[in-house]
Amino acid sequence: MKAAELKELIALNTLVFETLGKPEKERSFSFGTLKRWGLDLLKGKKQGIETYFTSETGKHTRGEAFDENGEHYEVSEILNKMPAKKKIFAHVEMINGQSFLVAQLREGDDNIEIVRLPIATILMAYYKKHKLFNLVAATANIGTAIELTKHQGQEGKPVPYEKLPDKVRRFLKEAKKIEKTTEFGRLALSYFGKNKDGDDRFRLSWLLPTIAILELDIAEKVDKLLGSFK
């Protein structure tokens, strides 16, 4: 079969499952989430003004002064709990094709930006810290939605839904449960059957809201599910 014919065959027979909606752009997070991202919340002065900011866990100590990105910081306290009446909200911002994690310490209309970092940097460190190695391998690109991909074996004509093995159907069922939690998702699956050694052959693409993956319980479920499909 010619490459163009195979491509057309796959396009016509790939299964697509969608949870309608828009990728979640903002979510509230607990104080412990900052620790899970590998960040300390600090209180002190930035350019001489009393405020809050973050740094890599353990990088700075109380009483320390430092310069970063052309700005001067003084650390008066390393916090071990959320400041009174404040909450952490985070969202994804896109700038010139690159995605950034922006987190704010919020009280009413008062927003203090405490994180602005390339989200890929945060995610990869977060994956490795929590041993989410299936997510490390599957992450293809990151915007407000993250694309996870997995490909195994030689391509051929995709199997119709009615003939999918139970293992693959269970995978789709669990993926749908995760998307119900995240309120958005798009999963495209081409399952080509088994090879002569009994190994599954497939191509998978899965879109989920990036901000949801920063919740450890969701990330762990996605990582475990990806690892189960092999």
pLDDT in tens, 26-37: 899 999 999 999
Length of the chain: 230
Where in the chain are the domains?
3-24+124-228, 39-81
Contact 120, 126 (CB under 8 A): no
Contact 202, 15 (CB under 8 A): no
The pLDDT confidence band at residue 12, using thresholds 50, 70 and 90, is: confident
Cα–Cα–Cα angle for 18, 171, 17, nearest 5°?
15
Tell if the pTM clears 0.85, that is, is over it. yes
Give the 3-state secondary structure of residue 87: strand
Bridge partners of 24, per DSSP, are none
Pick the closest to residue 214 from 81, 143, 119 (CA basis). Answer: 119
Residue 23 DSSP code: -
Predicted confidence at residue 163, as pLDDT, reads 93
- Please state the rounded mean pLDDT for residues 76-99: 94
Cα–Cα–Cα angle for 16, 221, 190, nearest 5°?
25
pLDDT tens per residue across span 93-140 = 999 999 999 999 998 888 999 999 999 999 999 999 999 999 999 999
pLDDT tens per residue across span 35-72 = 999 999 999 999 999 999 999 999 999 999 999 989 99
The pLDDT confidence band at residue 193, using thresholds 50, 70 and 90, is: very high
Predicted confidence at residue 21, as pLDDT, reads 81
Whether 91 shows a pLDDT value over 90: the answer reads yes
Whether 23 shows a pLDDT value over 90: the answer reads no
**b/e map of 23-49 (b: 16 or more CB within 10 Å)?**
bbeebebeeebbebbbbbbbebebeee
**CA–CA separation, 71 and 47 (whole Å):** 6
Roughly how many angstroms between the first and final C-alpha of the chain, as a whole number? Answer: 26
Give strand ranges (E) for the chain. 15-19, 26-29, 39-46, 49-56, 65-68, 71-78, 87-95, 98-107, 110-118, 139-142, 145-152, 185-194, 200-209
**CA–CA separation, 139 and 137 (whole Å):** 6
pLDDT tens per residue across span 133-149 = 999 999 999 999 999 99
Percent of the chain as helix, strand, coil, to the nearest 5: 30, 40, 25
Lowest mean pLDDT among 66-70, 73-77, 219-223: 66-70
Give strand ranges (E) for 108-162. 110-118, 139-142, 145-152
